[in-house]
Structure 1
Amino acid sequence: MERISADLLIPGDGDPVRNAVVLLEAGIIRYAGPAEEAPPGGVTETRAAVVMPGLWDCHNHLLGLTDLDTSRIATVPMPLRAARSVPDLRAALDAGVTSIREVGGLGVYLAQAVAEGSVEGPAIYASGSILSATGGHGDVHGLPLHWVADFGHSGGDFRLADGADECMRAVREQLRRNAKVIKVCASGGVLSELDHPIHQQFTVAELKAIVEVAGMADRVVAAHCHGKPGLMAALEAGVRTIEHGTYLDEEVCDAMRETDAVLVATRTVIDELMTDGTLPAPLMVKLKGVAEVHADAVALAHSRGVTLAMGTDIFVSGAGRPNSWGRNGRELAHLVACGLTPLEAIRTATANGPLTLGPQGPRSGVLATGYDADVITVAANPLDDINVLADPTRITGVWKAGRRVKAA
């Protein structure tokens, strides 16, 4: 049994506890609470300033790209991209991220490598290919259409599907690859060439077909969506999460609360791409339009009681590059800037993480008896300065399923 003693315990769900102890045994939390009530025991003892659940990043992509040009997904060899992604997983662990919901990329393949111990990384709950309408956000407009279609049929990172029957087939293909969540582009996006972020891209009938087939296998659907038409269509169809949600309004927020949908806002990608400034001019125009309203949308959703979960939309490989792995904790500071308290922001990255997976969600994200022993220790109190969680050097310890994978 391992014993972690801390000046402060942040449980993920509930109030912080001063002078606390967490006991880990066989991959499970056996106790988490006040030190004076803790049972005796603990072969190994760690002392820390703060102990809290491992972080969840609920929107990211293991693409193995070294720059922001996502069109290269279809032209860079998949084995090379997978090799580049292995250090990304290590970087995520070092940043305190113990679980990721990977919504399009190589995660379905890397999940098995992590689970079997071949690769060190967070637990991966992956979607397989992103489902897109022809000409939509998941299409590579600069390549011949049959190339893109063939790429999707051969297990690539995106899959074109038009009409309800083809949408159902595309979902079943992802289930065959053991996808834990289904990802669909319900609206246009920023990093695709010809589509507009506001435009709806799947019909309600197509979206309902996707949700129905996913639900038959206890999977939920994550809907990339910026514009209100796609947002309302996705919610009508029954998706579990809205990714981005840029142009949501009061009506959308009310619909999200009524359907118990979760917003994964992804402020990080917007900030990182705006700061980098290397996008081609047409894409930068789209990005600026999104950036101008997105922060207000997140603030509105929070004020209207919409459930939020942390997601970054990180997809670049290589330390120090814009929008690269290891920078995951920056999202929390963005959420605080949108009006969340530090404790509320931490909840989006802990207790709320498993909510984005529906029935596939593990018992994780909370320091409580019987939960998975995914735990981190932190050098200073993030309730005083949330930026502590954005600095991997301040994450002094990481335990995944009770095994220590990072030490100070």
Structure 2
Amino acid sequence: MIPGRGAPVAGAVVLLDGPAIAYAGPAAEAPPAAPDDDVTTAAVVMPGLWDCHVHLLGQLQPDLAMLPREPIALRAARGVAGLRAALDAGVTSIRELAGLGADMAPAVAEGTIAGPAIHAAGAAISPTGGHVDLHSYPLSWVHEWGATSGDLRVADGTAECARVVREQLRRNAKVIKVCASGGVMSEVDHPMHQQFTDAELRILVEVAGLAERVVAAHCHGKPGMIAALEAGVRTIEHGTYLDEECADAMRETGAILVPTRFVIHSAMADLDRLPPYAQPKMRAVAERHAEAIALAHRSGVTIAMGTDIGAGDWGRHGEELPLLVESGLTPLEAIEAATANGPATLGPQAPRSGRLAEGYDADLLILDDNPLDDIAVLADPARVRQVWKAGRRVK
């Protein structure tokens, strides 16, 4: 048994009581089995995976400018297939950081569609000209579409920032997503530049905190990272230009890094898939990103797994774990990043999940091969033999 946090346990038993775990530990200390208990034997059991950075955008190709051109119902239908693929890959919980997740979460919770538990942010928020502004459209169109689609929102000034956060809370967002730096998949802005002012970042965090929500900050550049950490964000997403000062600040504030190695690695393997404006920015980011993650790990920064999967890559979530190992994490540390560390990215909204322990959610994987010997086991959905979610076998 790989418990999610702590050392593996040989000869272990996990007992489920409905949607929760009743016992997880050595067989010698387990309560006796009842005659009518349903028993499954396995080589390895571990918690279900958390992907802490995904987007239910329903796109076939990564191009934000295409979002307004496709009906929301079409994109949601594609999202249904993506959620099923994630579940089959062993992902039982996702933190969805912009897209249709806030609207699709109830359908998963009620059992209408199959998928991981969705902890959604609603819309990602940036200032005018920022990472989620669609620069090729008239600004008035961007405002109108953003107010109705729920994927992306532009906000300027502290009053407007406060209002847009409240819009997401009205949708029952469990976390707030802001863009503290420029990005790769946006046309005009630069990944190094800070976008929101310090005052805007503080109000975004303050209003979220009033509702016991934390803020996830998209951040490539150091200026935005430092400003976001000073404002009190809970997580830094990507962290490309993270240095020793940033690592120290993250450790001191208890912030968590969600590196998203997968999106950069997969983009570099098929760069022509990206819009032309994004390709040089992706090359520049890729040169620095792996080094930053290795530095964060050496510095003792807490890491949680996230892929940034959004278009066409659903089901490939487990590929993040070998990439984390390449960045210096041990296989056991990578599994902890993908399990026990995941709920902490939600702050007060965190469920009791990501660990095999009494009282935790009965989300678990059954494997025939030990990922501590070969972490690539978790990168191949075919090698994930069974998936259990809330005490029910869903694969």
Which band: TM-score by shorter chain?
over 0.9
What does residue 365 of structure 2 align with? 376
SS of 1:398's partner is strand
What does residue 347 of structure 1 align with? 336
CA drift of 1:276 comes to 1.0
What does residue 4 of structure 1 align with? none
Q: Does residue 1:32 correspond to 2:13, yes or no?
A: no
Q: Distance in 2 between matches of 1:274 and 1:254?
A: 30
CA drift of 1:34 comes to 1.0
CA drift of 1:155 comes to 3.9
Q: Does residue 1:403 correspond to 2:388, yes or no?
A: no
Task: Map residues 254-269 of structure 1 onto 2, 5 A cutoff.
Answer: 254-269=248-263
Correspondent of 2:5 among 13, 18, 25? 13
Q: Distance in 2 between matches of 1:41 and 1:76?
A: 53
SS of 1:243's partner is strand
Task: Map residues 321-336 of structure 1 onto 2, 5 A cutoff.
Answer: 324-336=313-325
What does residue 295 of structure 1 align with? 290
Q: Distance in 2 between matches of 1:123 and 1:280?
A: 31
In structure 2, what residue type is equivalent to 1:369? E
What does residue 77 of structure 2 align with? 83
Give the conservation status (yes or no) of the 8 Å contact 2:234–2:347.
yes
Task: Map residues 125-140 of structure 1 onto 2, 5 A cutoff.
Answer: 125-140=119-134
Give the conservation status (yes or no) of the 8 Å contact 2:63–2:275.
no
CA drift of 1:282 comes to 2.9
Task: Give TM-score scaled by structure 2 length.
Answer: 0.98
CA drift of 1:151 comes to 1.4
SS of 2:188's partner is coil
What does residue 244 of structure 2 align with? 250
Q: Distance in 2 between matches of 1:11 and 1:182?
A: 29
SS of 2:39's partner is strand
SS of 1:39's partner is coil
Task: Map residues 134-153 of structure 1 onto 2, 5 A cutoff.
Answer: 134-153=128-147
Q: Does residue 1:210 correspond to 2:204, yes or no?
A: yes
What does residue 388 of structure 1 align with? 377
What does residue 110 of structure 1 align with? 104
Q: Calculate the aligned-residue CA RMSD, in Å.
A: 0.8
Q: Does residue 1:55 correspond to 2:49, yes or no?
A: yes
Q: Distance in 1 between matches of 2:23 and 2:148?
A: 47
Task: Give TM-score scaled by structure 1 length.
Answer: 0.95
For each residue in 1:234-272, what CA deviation from the matched residue of structure 2 results, as whole angstroms up to 9, or x when unmatched?
001000000000001000000001110000000000011
Task: Map residues 299-318 of structure 1 onto 2, 5 A cutoff.
Answer: 299-317=294-312
- Quick check: 32-41 or 266-275, which moved more? 32-41
Give the conservation status (yes or no) of the 8 Å contact 1:243–1:263.
yes
CA drift of 1:156 comes to 2.5
In structure 1, what residue type is equivalent to 2:16? L
In structure 1, what residue type is equivalent to 2:341? N
What does residue 189 of structure 2 align with? 195
Which protein is richer in strand relative to its size? Answer: 1
SS of 2:257's partner is strand
Give the conservation status (yes or no) of the 8 Å contact 2:53–2:94.
yes
What does residue 73 of structure 1 align with? 67
Give the length in aligned residue pairs.
Answer: 392
What does residue 159 of structure 2 align with? 165
Give the conservation status (yes or no) of the 8 Å contact 1:66–1:316.
yes
SS of 1:281's partner is coil
CA drift of 1:280 comes to 3.4
What is the identity percentage for the equivalent residue pairs of Structure 1 and Structure 2? 67
CA drift of 1:175 comes to 0.2
In structure 1, what residue type is equivalent to 2:339? T
Q: Distance in 1 between matches of 2:122 and 2:68?
A: 15
Q: Distance in 2 between matches of 1:96 and 1:204?
A: 39
Give the conservation status (yes or no) of the 8 Å contact 2:92–2:115.
yes
Q: Does residue 1:223 correspond to 2:220, yes or no?
A: no
User: Structure 1, unaligned stretches of length 5 or more?
Assistant: 1-8, 318-323
For each residue in 1:260-307, what CA deviation from the matched residue of structure 2 results, as whole angstroms up to 9, or x when unmatched?
000000000001111012123331110010000000000000000000
What does residue 115 of structure 2 align with? 121
SS of 2:228's partner is helix
Give the conservation status (yes or no) of the 8 Å contact 2:339–2:355.
yes
Give the conservation status (yes or no) of the 8 Å contact 2:72–2:149.
no
In structure 1, what residue type is equivalent to 2:385? T
Correspondent of 2:86 among 88, 92, 97? 92
In structure 1, what residue type is equivalent to 2:336? R
Give the conservation status (yes or no) of the 8 Å contact 1:59–1:103.
yes
Q: Does residue 1:272 correspond to 2:247, yes or no?
A: no
CA drift of 1:138 comes to 0.5
CA drift of 1:111 comes to 0.3
User: Structure 2, unaligned stretches of length 5 or more?
Assistant: none
Q: Distance in 2 between matches of 1:368 and 1:184?
A: 33
CA drift of 1:179 comes to 0.2
CA drift of 1:119 comes to 0.7
Correspondent of 2:277 among 282, 285, 300? 282
Q: Distance in 2 between matches of 1:68 and 1:211?
A: 29
